[in-house]
Amino acid sequence: MRITYDELRKIACEVRAEMIERGEIDPGKKRIRRKPRDPEKSELLYRMAIDRLEQYPPYRDDKGRIVLPWFR
């Protein structure tokens, strides 16, 4: 059975409306995170960010703008 994008979109809208009626989700929030991140993973992500910052520190160019080299 093939489902088109429009059918899938309609089903998703109906399911979301049902979840809002039951109070499972808040319609004011944009994103739904089903499962909280465990502390180990959170600490790992933090350490990776700090390591990246130490390896590629930001600097100012000739015009005074801040350059973030890890985005280049």
Q: Tens of pLDDT along the chain (72 residues)? A: 687 888 888 888 899 899 889 988 877 776 656 778 889 998 998 999 899 888 888 889 898 888 888 765
Residue of 9, 12, 50 lying closest to 32 (CA atoms): 12
Can you give the pTM of this predicted structure? 0.44
Measured between alpha carbons, how far is 2 from 8 in angstroms, rounded to an integer?
10
Domain that holds residue 23: 5-71
Provide the total of helices (H) and of strands (E) in the chain, helices listed first.
2, 2
Q: What's the total number of domains in the chain? A: 1
Measured between alpha carbons, how far is 72 from 58 in angstroms, rounded to an integer?
12
Q: Are 69 and 58 in contact (CB under 8 A)?
A: yes
